[in-house]
Amino acid sequence: MEIRGTAAIVTGGASGLGGATVRALAERGARVFALDLAAGVEKAPAIDGVTYLEADVTSAEQVQLAVDTAAAASAEHPLRIVVNCAGIGPSSRTVGKRGPHDLDLFRKVVEINLIGTFNVLRLAAEAIGRTEPLTDGARGVVINTASVAAFEGQIGQIAYSASKGGVVGLTLPAARDLSSTGIRVMTIAPGIVDTPMMATVADEYREGLAAAVPFPKRLALPEEYAQLAVSVVEHDYLNGEVIRMDGGIRMSPR
């Protein structure tokens, strides 16, 4: 699918994986609507072709408003692309020194990472389904973000792994559900990416993480995630699949 001349929604679009994807899509001629919380939008850089919208992915009302804005923005830029990057990753053991895992924290992680992803997918898919079909009846693509933690969750990642495992699990049935509409659904499962969150950890810890990657022995770059997302958009035969972007790493228990 050609990116130029389309509209795209990217959640978590103010920074990190989402920020890199926003830039990549805008550079290729898409009109991009970057969704993020207010704090992220306030700090986001101005980019030609990018409109920042405040939206909590767990809110049906806020996401619907953002989708309606993107879908109605321009007849020359139909909404065809969605990339779900919004997410959080706090850690806590099932039972730790302070007692059992906080249930509200577990619920919050699942609410944002899994339910938020599905919320955006379902509402955006309805809007994409109203566009004129392209070659082979194609109308668009939704790309979700999981993690290698969906497959090899480490100690303390039970909430995060459960939420990302859910994203992996919904990929194929969503693709099957939306096949009659001409909407593809894909998921990218990144390994260890050098995002702003990683910038807060000690250099020694970062070096240890990089050394664990078979090749190349470094952290992934947000721009590499964006590059893969662009490739998925442009490759019309990719559907219903999860692609690991991890340098070949298989995470150890800790």
Number of domains in the chain: 1
Amino acid 50: pLDDT: 97
230 inside domain: yes
149 inside domain: yes
What does the DSSP 8-state code read for residue 87?
Answer: -
253 inside domain: no
67 inside domain: yes
Amino acid 245: pLDDT: 98
Q: 205: Cβ–Cβ under 8 A, 6 or more apart, which residues?
A: none
Q: What is the pLDDT of residues 198-208, one digit of tens each?
A: 777 778 888 88
114 inside domain: yes
**CATH number for the domain that contains residue 183:** 3.40.50.720
Q: What is the pLDDT of residues 152-187, one digit of tens each?
A: 999 999 999 999 999 999 999 999 999 999 999 999
- Domain range for 233 is 7-191+223-243
What does the DSSP 8-state code read for residue 157?
Answer: B
Amino acid 252: pLDDT: 87
Catalytic residue list contains 225:
no
Amino acid 254: pLDDT: 85
159 inside domain: yes
35 inside domain: yes
Task: Give me the residues of the chain with pLDDT under 50, please.
Answer: none
169 inside domain: yes
Strands 50-54 and 95-96: unpaired
In sequence order, what E strands does the chain have?
Answer: 7-11, 31-36, 50-54, 79-84, 95-96, 99-100, 140-145, 183-190, 242-245
